[in-house]
A = this chain, B = another copy of it.
Amino acid sequence: MLRHAARSLSPKQCYISPRVIEAEYAVRGLIPARADEIKADLATGRGSYAFESLVYCNIGNPQSVGQMPLTFYRQVMALVDAPSLLEDAVIAARLPEDAVARARRYLAEIGTGTGAYTESFGYRFARAAVAEHINKLDHGVSPAATVNDICLTDGASMGAKLFLQLLVGGASDAVMIPVPQYPLYSAQIALLGGVKVPYFLHESEGWAMKLPDLVAAYERCVTESGATPRLFVCINPGNPTGNVLERCVMEDVVRFCHERGMLLLADEVYQENVYDTRRRFLSFREVVLGMPEPYCSETMLVSLHSTSKGVIGECGRRGGYFCMANLPAALRQQVVKLCSINLCANVNGQLMTALMCSPPREGETSYAMHQRECDAIFTGMKERAELLARELGNVRGLSCQPVEGAMYAFPRIVLPERYAQRNEELNAKEGRRLALDARWALELLESSGIVVVPGSGFGQEPGTLHFRITILPPLEQIDRMVRAIREFQDRIYEQYA
């Protein structure tokens, strides 16, 4: 065979798409990777560490740190997956009658059982349950959501990726994202070769979003990059910032998007995680459809939700949905096509989404237990959110905004100048460019076993430093986290101040 010129592309110096190289995802990046190494060391007795176990606070993964699944949902899912259990009268008699009835109903709706691909948008009965849930939640604003507006997805991520792909074809297309933001967005924009347009949230005002910043960011993008912003990403409640938006700000956002023909992508996966009693989650769908013409009928809105957060915390299930409002037919057609290329979301995620949107009702056998389970989880989260923000705020060199919602605190770190200089020196020696807060998080991990994500992974105002830490571990671990961070900061100040 002819040896071709391209042979010079040996496997050793192989090609990689530059877009892939550019993409970053800190939530599972350098720090968690080092944590996994340490975990392996601890398991095999290698290395010498001042702790015996790790506390993973890098990712919102409740059931990995002790949260229990909601019993009813799991019972129904198991019965739907293994109808032989349902057909055994003895087994069926030992399960709550509403779980058995629900499983029978779902199986009748599915017809073929859970082993088949579903419609591209997902089971119709599950989409009907989502639509009913949304319409109730949004206080009956019209038009009501229908099954055709809902698509079931593998987690909320799949919906976010789909709409980014739909509207970002390359360097002439831009996306407005909050800073700090959840790095799925920046990573996807990099993979699509699009332009990121950051709008900054105001930390000192509880991470408030302000209209003049949006306008300025938009203008800067159009003038400087020449790209056209196609989507506006809003995360509410905020990740990693925990802020919960108020109606007046949301209306500003809607007008802002409408006037510029941007699609509003509302990431509302933390909608059930609002702890501050002065705040209430309000969906962008309720806001948009409640506004006057032309906003209510023309603002293109896609809302994302997931089974991974809330009190359900079924991350492994990869369940979720998106709901579309005011999307022109031409756009919807392409959405249908993209979904059909993906075949369908996994059925267990679809089932879990249906269940999340139609929990046991008052009067049903499982209602009381289900409510107890949900309340206990929520109360625990609320306690830890308050505790963590308060305690971290009392640590030397840290300040922390209230955790109004979501699952994270995002404290600001102030470090002695000499600690920063030392990072420069270490970077020079190690031949790498570790951000200052990444150095801090790495040394926190290596000295205490606490796994957090540096603020640089989410974006932050230049010159500021932060870290994201989940509120999810059980109380005794939260105590250990706070103590470890306090000792670590005190040591830094003693040594470098």
Contacts and interface: CB of A to CB of B under 8 A. Distances in A.
Interface string A255-282: 1100111010000000000000000000
Contacts of A222: 4, 6
Interface stretch (A332-340, A398-406, A474-482): A332-340
Given A113-B69, A169-B20, A261-B9, A1 B64 contact: no
A261 B82 contact: no
Nearest to A297: B11
A380 interface: no
A20 B117 contact: no
A314 interface: yes
A300 interface: yes
Contact of A91 (B91, B313, B338, B341): B91
A302 to B, nearest CB: 12
B343 A346 contact: no
B318 A346 contact: yes
A248 interface: no
A1 B9 CA distance: 54
Interface centre among A116, A154, A318 (most CB of B within 10 A): A116
A263 B11 CA distance: 9
A1 B256 contact: yes
Count of this chain's copies in the oligomeric assembly: 2
Contact of A117 (B23, B94, B316): B316
A132 interface: no
B116 A3 contact: no
Interface string A110-130: 001111111110000000000
A19 interface: yes
Nearest to A26: B340
A85 interface: yes
Contacts of A313: 115
Contact of A261 (B7, B154, B184, B343): B7
Interface residues of A, number: 114
Contacts of A135: none
Contacts of A13: 328
Contacts of A113: 63, 69
A279 to B, nearest CB: 26
Contacts of A120: 28
Nearest to A66: B112
A229 B298 CA distance: 44
A340 B25 contact: yes
Contacts of A389: none
Contacts of A74: 81-82, 84
A2 interface: yes
A14 interface: yes
A12 interface: yes
14 contacts: A2-B215, A3-B259, A7-B259, A11-B299, A11-B326, A15-B230, A17-B173, A23-B337, A25-B341, A28-B120, A85-B85, A115-B313, A116-B316, A317-B347
Interface of A: 1-4, 6-21, 23-25, 27-29, 36, 59, 61-64, 67, 69, 71, 74-75, 77-79, 81-82, 84-85, 88, 90-91, 94-95, 112-120, 154-155, 157, 165-170, 173, 184, 187-188, 191, 193, 211, 215, 218, 222, 228-230, 255-256, 259-261, 263, 298-300, 308, 313-318, 326-328, 330-331, 334, 337-338, 340-349
Given A14-B330, A62-B116, 12 more contacts: A1-B211, A9-B261, A20-B166, A61-B117, A74-B81, A88-B94, A90-B91, A116-B316, A187-B341, A315-B343, A316-B344, A318-B345
